[in-house]
Amino acid sequence: MKQNLIISPEVEAALAANRPVVALESTVIAHGLPRPQNLETAQRLERIVRDEGAMPATIAVLEGKLCVGLEQNQVELIGNDDDIKKLSTRDLAVAVARGLNGATTVASTLWVAHRAGIQVFATGGIGGVHRGSLPDVSADLPELGRTPMVVVCSGAKIVLDLPATREWLETNAVTVVGYGCDEMPAFYARKSGLPVDARCDSPEEVAQLFRTQRDLGMATALLVTVPVPAAAEVPDALLNKILNESLGDADRSNVTGRDLTPFLLARMAELSNGATLRANIALLENNARVAAQIANKLH
């Protein structure tokens, strides 16, 4: 894998010196947020991680190389190129063999970050079990089930079947932590009605749990769920309305597979006049901060 992996000099130096590093994904830049907020947010997330004293490592595939830590022009390519692919774990070998560019999802970012030696990863909302009768299960879930990393998120994306996603995590031994909360957050909303396995109120507590998982030889991720900041939460009534409308639109337009999540996120942002976009950015920023604070305690 070494010849296909390019770790930026800054990230390489941090890893070699055992300093804290936080991995960031690139699908949220390419397909999760509209322009120009996508690039602004990508930059903000890196800044937030640095301000907390950790090293950001945004991950993407460029010309067939698994890149860990991107230059400004590389982030811009991911954010501005209309044809940038969404690469999940199953797509990595194809992208590498053919020298392609692509943005990495939670699943593929986990795969690369772990092999680069990174322990902490921040994102917005993980993928999960989709609603509907076809079992459409995001590759994010199995990757969480076999990657020993701390993953900081705001739960699974609200467009998903959240109870089914919660069950999947339980079955596959992924411990779910509520960070300052007793129930799993629901992405744009602070509450889902679904339980967490343990509550942690500080970065130290999370670090201690993660170390214990390692000591026990567990190979699963520790999923740290952080509610969206209250000021940016989307009210329930509005959320239900736009969610139902977006799901109906996707169904009528036959949107499926890898296009479904980006379609639903974009449609909800439109229907809510940007309220879901503001929530998404607020939770991404907050999660990057919490992830950096946890990374600091692991070193």
Which parts of this chain interact with ligand PSU (CB under 6 A)? 25, 27-28, 31-32, 105-107, 123-125, 127, 138-140, 258, 261, 265, 280
Q: How far is the CB of 138 from Mn ion (least distance, A)?
A: 5
In whole angstroms, what is the distance from residue 149 CA to residue 82 CA? 31
Could you say which of ligand PSU, Mn ion, none residue 286 binds, taking C-beta under 5 to 8 angstroms by partner kind? none
270 is catalytic: no
Partner whose footprint covers residue 287, from Mn ion, ligand PSU, none (CB < 5 to 8 Å by kind)? none
**Given 12, 25, 52, 233, the catalytic residue:** 25
Smallest gap from residue 257 Cβ to Mn ion (A): 6
Q: 152 near 109, Cβ under 8 Å?
A: no
Q: Cα–Cα distance between 161 and 104 in angstroms, integer?
A: 23
CA distance 258 to 103: 12
- Closest to Mn ion by CB, 147 or 261: 261
Which one of the listed residues 52, 157, 233, 285 is annotated catalytic?
157
Query: Nearer to ligand PSU by C-beta: 22 or 139?
Result: 139
CB 28, min distance to ligand PSU, A: 4
Interface positions, 77-136, toward Mn ion (CB under 5 A): 136
Q: Which is nearer to Mn ion, 136 or 270 (CB)?
A: 136
* Residue placing its CB nearer to Mn ion in the complex, 42 or 243: 243
- Residue 25 contacts which entry, Mn ion, ligand PSU, none (Cβ below 5-8 A, type-dependent): ligand PSU
**Least separation, in Å, of the C-beta of 105 and ligand PSU?**
3
Closest separation between CB of residue 245 and Mn ion, Å? 21
Answer yes or no: 46 catalytic. no
Cβ distance to Mn ion smaller for residue 6 or 255: 255
- What is the 3-class SS of the chain, one letter each residue? CHHHEEECHHHHHHHHCCCCEEEECCHHHHHHCCCCHHHHHHHHHHHHHHHCCCEEEEEEEECCEEEECCCHHHHHHHHHCCCCEEECHHHHHHHHHHCCCEEECHHHHHHHHHHHCCCEEECCCECCEECCCCCCECCHHHHHHCCCCEEEECCECCCECHHHHHHHHHHCCCEEEEECCCECCECCECCCCCECCEEECCHHHHHHHHHHHHHCCCCCCEEEECCCCHHHCCCHHHHHHHHHHHHHHHHHCCCCHHHHHHHHHHHHHHHCCCHHHHHHHHHHHHHHHHHHHHHHHCC
The item of Mn ion, ligand PSU, none sharing an interface with residue 247, based on CB under 5 to 8 Å by kind, is none
Q: Please give the positions annotated as active site.
A: 25, 157
- Could you list the residues that contact Mn ion (CB under 5 A)? 136
